[in-house]
Chain A
Amino acid sequence: MKRLTALVLILVAATGFVFAGGDQEGGGVPRLEILQNKPEIDAQLKAYAAAWGQKNGVQVVVKTVGGSVDVDVDQMLTIGYAAGEMPDIFVFPGVADYEKWSEVILDVSDQPWVEETSVEFTYDGKVYGFPVAVEGWGLAYNADILEAAGVDPASLVNYAGYKAAFEKIDSMKAELGLESVVSMAASISMSWVTAHHNFNSLLSAGLPYGDLSVVNDLLAGNVDMARLSQYADWVELLFTYADQAVLLTGDYDAQVGAFAQGKAAFLHQGNWADGNIEAAGAEFPRAFAPHGALATETDGIFASAPAYYAINADSDVQELAKKFLNDLVFTDAGHRYMVEEAGMIPAFASVELSPASPLSQSVQEWVASGKVYSWNQYYFSDSFRDDTLGPIYNQFASGTLSKAQFIQAMKQAFESR
């Protein structure tokens, strides 16, 4: 017991030391804080930021959130706002989040980098967001398997093309060593695949880039039943030919893993999966097939900036923040970081490097040929997508909703939004 008492006394005595310690700021050097949401490029961005900071006499602090056991940027900003500590540069994914934080997002229309890109974030004619990269998603295919099955990816430009291809591959599963035709996920925690990505086919497939006609109709509660029912056919096709275990309970690892191990011919994901596919030891050639989701021809994939850097309008170091972003676009070190270190597809014409991984290259080719559809899902709130649409897809996948009920539920969701 004496020992315990002694320990307690030591603790009390040492308390003074603890209270003296704290989080002091580096003396005199300006501090630039960046909040970003890609854990996979955390190390690369920190290295680049440190080098940039050294050159410019700035202490750059990079904070990353968004891992699978983590909070997201919006929560971090909410906590930061309560704590009175907002970052100088932070990312936001799109319109709905812009509207939440518009009070603290600086108008950057006059910045030199704006001239170099076509995917900046604009609102009411002004520029507010620096595109972090270009990303694309759709149906990635394993070229070896498609060739063995005698399916030409160029034929996959509409629903009929896909239906024929899926049926053919499905009948040859045994000889191709497949467990399913397409690797698709629709569990609640994978709602971002269904209610974010897949949902976007309804919003923009087959339309000119940036066309908001479907979005505006749906936002107003006017549902184009013909388009919705074509879309329902497409979702049904994907769900029918997916591995049911992956579809109903699989996580991202399971979904990408099935494709990477050659057990599925198609993968409903984006170019960010490249790194994970490689990590699983896959060496087969792969690319994105045209996203033929509609009965009419839809020869393109969905490509856009996944998120934008905003500059905090209340920040004391706005000029430094502007310089940081411009240097990404106009210096060689910036280019090398974006493309070679972080493996991103640059959103700027001034960058001449191109990424090494096959799916990223495929996205770049689609972008170069101009066959791209925009990402319009962010016109709907997180909660509408996750909590209203996510469960509808999940029930359709598990068979608790029929196709007719699925269409009805979707229609009702838009009408009562």
Chain B
Amino acid sequence: MADQHTQFQKTGVQAKKLRQTRETRAKTGLIGLEIITALLFLVTLFPIFLVLINSGKTAFSVTASPLTLPEDWLQIFRNMKTIWVDPNIQYGSSFYSSLLITVFSVGAIILISAQAAWVLVRSKTRIAAFLFMMFVAAMTIPFQIVMLPLVQWFRILGDFIGFRLLRTYPGMILSYMGFGMSLSIFLYHGFIKGIPYELEEAAIIDGASRVGTFYQIVFPLLKPITATVMILNGIWIWNDYLLPLLILGKGNRIQTIPLAVANFAGAYVKQWDLILTAILMAMIPVIIVFLIAQKQIIKGMVAGSIK
């Protein structure tokens, strides 16, 4: 967009001259854009940079000199080790629980949302429109209104049906399915609308079942938006604090990283060095997944969000 400018008549020498000025102007314009983008990029990353440099410090030097580089970068690893071996944090097992919960929740959200969205797009009935509206409208429900009733309800299920959801993985995963579904169905719905129906029609004419058609033909086409759904839900679930607190409770067998890390802070004091290191440790896996899936995510958004 930035490399096109003038709008004069183009004839003879004048045209050549014009082309030259147009090119130089475009070039300076582009350099300007590059500088602006680079500056914005630095501004955006500055707070993350602060997390990084302060993870490499000892307790009080964080608040005393927040802007200096750490004297000894190896302190990051010492801090990481402190967190890793702390018997109350149990980083290893918290990491395992967080991973299990995130992977299974995201997997389940992808499956149930994709197939639900597909049904809702393809059957243009009033009931489909209503269900879609309902799923999307749920995004406007404030979490505060459902949080304690949810705990009570899960308790009732456990007491009367013996279906234990509190303090268990299934309860945690089911909760994330419920809360993560709205946005995911919304995204899938937009994406699927852009896929031509002919493909599926051909499969059905060939005698494939509806379910078969979805999983063999449609689901593979959803890869880009699936990457988007995966990363958005993954980030949220990985960092979430309040929902695990309600469903898993504190100090029970299953602990996620955010629950465990909350123990770091004293009643009044924030142990910045360790908190920041813990954030860094928690961020690394998400960043890795994001970098790997980055192209897919953008592709997914390209097709998904605007239909």
Say whether A and B bind each other: yes
Binding site for B on A (CB under 8 A): 1, 4-5, 7-8, 11-12, 14-15, 18-19, 21-24, 37-40, 42-43, 46, 61-71, 76, 78-80, 82-85, 251-254, 256-257, 261, 272, 276, 279-281
How many residues of chain B are within 8 Å of chain A by beta carbon? 52
Q: Which residues of B contact A11 (CB under 8 A)?
A: 103-104, 107-108
Q: Which residues of B contact A8 (CB under 8 A)?
A: 107, 110-111
Q: Which residues of B contact A80 (CB under 8 A)?
A: 249
A22 lies within 8 A of B245 (CB) = no
Q: Which of B173, B226, B246 is A4 in contact with, Cβ under 8 Å? A: B226
> Which residues B229-259 have CB closer than 8 A to chain A?
241, 245-246, 249-254
Q: Which of A15, A23, A43, A83 is B151 in contact with, Cβ under 8 Å? A: A83
Q: How many angstroms from the CA of A99 to the CA of B153 in the assembled complex?
A: 26
| B270 at interface by CB-CB < 8 Å | yes
| B219 at interface by CB-CB < 8 Å | yes
A252 lies within 8 A of B107 (CB) = no
A23 lies within 8 A of B253 (CB) = yes
B148 lies within 8 A of A39 (CB) = no
B60 lies within 8 A of A40 (CB) = no
**24 A-B interface contacts by CB (under 8 A):** A5-B215, A5-B219, A18-B104, A22-B164, A22-B168, A23-B254, A38-B267, A39-B264, A43-B87, A43-B88, A64-B250, A64-B251, A67-B266, A68-B266, A68-B268, A80-B249, A82-B152, A85-B249, A253-B269, A257-B63, A272-B268, A276-B268, A276-B269, A279-B59
Closest to A72 in B: B267
Closest to A33 in B: B251
B167 lies within 8 A of A22 (CB) = yes
Closest to A25 in B: B253
Evaluate whether A42 and B252 lie within 8 angstroms (CB atoms) in the complex, with A21-B169, A67-B262, A257-B64 already known: no
Closest to A7 in B: B107
B251 lies within 8 A of A61 (CB) = yes
Q: Which of B63, B155, B262 has the most chain A CB atoms closer than 10 A to its own CB?
A: B262
Q: Which of B148, B151, B226, B254 has the most chain A CB atoms closer than 10 A to its own CB?
A: B151
Q: Which residues of A contact B88 (CB under 8 A)?
A: 42-43, 46
| B166 at interface by CB-CB < 8 Å | yes
Binding site for A on B (CB under 8 A): 59-60, 63-64, 87-88, 100, 103-104, 107-108, 110-111, 148, 151-152, 154-155, 159, 164, 166-170, 173, 215, 219-220, 223, 226, 241, 245-246, 249-254, 261-270, 272, 275
B59 lies within 8 A of A69 (CB) = no
Closest to A192 in B: B268
Closest to A24 in B: B253
Min distance, Cβ B153 to any Cβ of chain A, angstroms = 9
Min distance, Cβ A272 to any Cβ of chain B, angstroms = 8
Closest to A70 in B: B262
Question: Interface on chain B toward A: helix, strand, loop, or mixed SS?
Answer: helix
Q: Which residues of A contact B263 (CB under 8 A)?
A: 39, 42, 64, 67, 70
Q: Which of B59, B148, B159 is A82 in contact with, Cβ under 8 Å? A: B148
Q: Which residues of A contact B108 (CB under 8 A)?
A: 11
Min distance, Cβ B80 to any Cβ of chain A, angstroms = 19
A66 lies within 8 A of B173 (CB) = no
A63 lies within 8 A of B104 (CB) = no
B63 lies within 8 A of A39 (CB) = no
B265 lies within 8 A of A63 (CB) = no
Min distance, Cβ B300 to any Cβ of chain A, angstroms = 13
Min distance, Cβ A249 to any Cβ of chain B, angstroms = 13
A18 lies within 8 A of B173 (CB) = yes
Closest to B216 in A: A5
Evaluate whether A40 and B266 lie within 8 angstroms (CB atoms) in the complex, with A79-B245, A279-B59 already known: yes
Q: Which residues of B contact A19 (CB under 8 A)?
A: 169-170
A71 lies within 8 A of B245 (CB) = yes
